[in-house]
Structure 1
Amino acid sequence: MNHEQISRIAHTDHPVKAPLDDESVRRLLDRAIPHEDARVLDLGCGPAEWLLRALASRPGLRAEGVDVSADALAQARAAAADLGVQDRLTLHRGRAEEFVPDRPFDVVLSVGATHAFGGLLPTLAAAREHLAPGGHVLVGDGIWQGEPTREAVEMLGDFADLAATLDLVTADGWTPVHGHVSTRRELDDYEWACWGTLAAWGLDRPDHPDGVEALATAATRRTEWLRVYRDTWGFLSLVLRRTSD
Structure 2
Amino acid sequence: MDRQQISRLAHADHPIAAPLDDGSVHRLLTRAVPGDGAHVLDLGCGGGEWLLRALRAYPGLTAEGVDTSGSALDRARAQATRLAVGDRLTLHHRDAARFTAAHRFDLVLCVGSTHAFGGLSATLAAARAHLAPQGRVLVGDGYWERPPSSEAVDMLGDLADLPTTLDRVVADGWTPVGGHISTRQELDDYEWSWTGALADWALRHPDDPDRAQVLETAGAHRESWLRGYRDTLGFLCLVLRPTHA
TM-score relative to the length of structure 1: 0.99
For residues 203 and 140 of structure 1, the distance between their equivalents in structure 2, rounded to whole angstroms, comes to 33
The answer as to whether partners of 2:32 and 2:107 remain within 8 angstroms in 1 is yes
TM-aligned CA deviation for residue 206 of structure 1: 1.9
For the aligned residue pairs, the C-alpha RMSD in angstroms reads 0.7
For residues 169 and 221 of structure 1, the distance between their equivalents in structure 2, rounded to whole angstroms, comes to 30
| Alignment-derived partner of residue 125 in structure 2 | 125
Q: How many residues align?
A: 245
2:31 aligned counterpart, secondary structure: helix
| Alignment-derived partner of residue 169 in structure 1 | 169
TM-aligned CA deviation for residue 194 of structure 1: 2.5
| Alignment-derived partner of residue 16 in structure 1 | 16
The answer as to whether partners of 1:137 and 1:239 remain within 8 angstroms in 2 is yes
| Alignment-derived partner of residue 234 in structure 1 | 234
Deviation per residue, 1:5-31 (Å, 9 max, x gap): 110110001000000000000000011
Deviation per residue, 1:171-204 (Å, 9 max, x gap): 0000000111100010011111222111111111
The answer as to whether partners of 2:46 and 2:69 remain within 8 angstroms in 1 is yes
| Alignment-derived partner of residue 69 in structure 2 | 69
The answer as to whether partners of 1:181 and 1:236 remain within 8 angstroms in 2 is yes
**Structure 1 gap segments, 5+ residues each:** none
TM-aligned CA deviation for residue 209 of structure 1: 2.6
For residues 217 and 115 of structure 1, the distance between their equivalents in structure 2, rounded to whole angstroms, comes to 21
For residues 204 and 174 of structure 1, the distance between their equivalents in structure 2, rounded to whole angstroms, comes to 48
For residues 42 and 108 of structure 1, the distance between their equivalents in structure 2, rounded to whole angstroms, comes to 6
The answer as to whether partners of 1:204 and 1:211 remain within 8 angstroms in 2 is no
| Alignment-derived partner of residue 48 in structure 1 | 48
The answer as to whether partners of 1:205 and 1:212 remain within 8 angstroms in 2 is no
| Alignment-derived partner of residue 30 in structure 1 | 30
The answer as to whether partners of 1:195 and 1:219 remain within 8 angstroms in 2 is yes
1:209 aligned counterpart, secondary structure: coil
1:110 aligned counterpart, secondary structure: strand
Counterpart code for 2:21: D
Counterpart code for 2:173: G
The answer as to whether partners of 1:14 and 1:194 remain within 8 angstroms in 2 is no
| Alignment-derived partner of residue 214 in structure 2 | 214
TM-aligned CA deviation for residue 219 of structure 1: 1.2
The answer as to whether partners of 2:194 and 2:221 remain within 8 angstroms in 1 is no
TM-score relative to the length of structure 2: 0.99
| Alignment-derived partner of residue 202 in structure 1 | 202
The answer as to whether partners of 1:136 and 1:239 remain within 8 angstroms in 2 is yes
